[in-house]
Amino acid sequence: MTTVVEATAKATVSALSVENVSHAYGARIALDEVSFDVAPSSFTVLLGLNGAGKSTLFSVITHLYVSRSGVVRIFGHDVARESGAALAALGVVFQQRTLDPDLSVAQNLAYHGALHGLGRRETRARGAIQLTRVGLADRTKDKVRFLSGGQMRRVEIARALLHRPRMLLLDEPTAGLDIKARAGILEVVRGLVADEGIGVLWATHLVDEIRDEDHVVVLHKSRVLADGPSRSIISAAGARSIGEAFTSLTGGGEGGEG
């Protein structure tokens, strides 16, 4: 196990901290002593193939269920014990589409605002700001059904930001999108990190979404194989790119498909 520890990020409270999280479905182990941190104002990539344990990890972080052991904290709030406070600080974009296609963009945002206890007027005002940020201010009244895949994703990002979370979780947000839409989504989310100081955990299996300065956590077969700045992982593995490093860490030529 090659662990690259970044010592500097430990000074402040982490946006997200995953400590020794293990989970199993019956005899099948899904997460094995997984630990890593996401610092505020950082873009952290959770890199792993399908079946690496990302879905289970996201279920545990979003409190769908509690892991068999270990602790997940969002800005210091234990997700299992203080789930209200933890979830209030967390924005989530799920891999599946979670917008109501028959409702308008504004109605979808209103529903989410209500789930977070925001009044109508406040939701509308915040929604307008977030939709402008993602470049969809003119589509407020349109039915979601008539948006493109990339636009839906951007609405989901705007929605996830409505309750002003300081930690944003995105599960394969670019899955099924074309190159241009992918770049657009990445730009929006990287902007959030730079401008708003939001901590981002971006789960993907696509190595070309990673920049050298990003923090990378490699999850493979339920375990964390590497955790650190992308360039450190590359040099530690003696590779030329993060894709090569991933392949050599996971010991196979199966990396970065799709």
Of 41-49, 52-60, 213-221, 236-244, the segment contacting another protein by CB under 8 A is 52-60
Burial profile 100-124: b = 16 or more Cβ within 10 angstroms, e = fewer: eeeebbbbbbbebbeeeebeeeebe
Does 63 interact with another protein (rule: CB under 8 A)? yes
3-state secondary structure (DSSP) of residue 104: strand
Of 41-49, 78-86, 132-140, 216-224, the segment contacting another protein by CB under 8 A is 78-86
| Residue closer to another protein, measured from CB, 15 or 233 | 15
Does 75 interact with another protein (rule: CB under 8 A)? yes
Q: Which of 2, 35, 41, 107 binds another protein (CB under 8 A)?
A: 107
Residue 214: half-sphere exposure toward Cβ, Cα within 13 Å = 23
| Residue closer to another protein, measured from CB, 115 or 129 | 115
Cα separation, 195 vs 235, in Å, equals 29
3-state secondary structure (DSSP) of residue 158: helix
Sketch the per residue contact string, 8 through 47, with another protein: x for CB under 8 A, - otherwise: ---------------x-xx---x-----------------
Tally of helices (H runs) and strands (E runs) in the chain:
8, 10
Task: Report, in Å, the least distance between residue 92 CB and another protein.
Answer: 5
Q: Return the closest-CA partner of residue 73 out of 49, 38, 113.
A: 38
What length does the chain have? 258
Binding site for another protein (CB under 8 A): 23, 25-26, 30, 55-56, 59, 62-66, 75-77, 80, 82-85, 87-90, 92, 94-98, 100, 102-103, 107, 110-119, 164
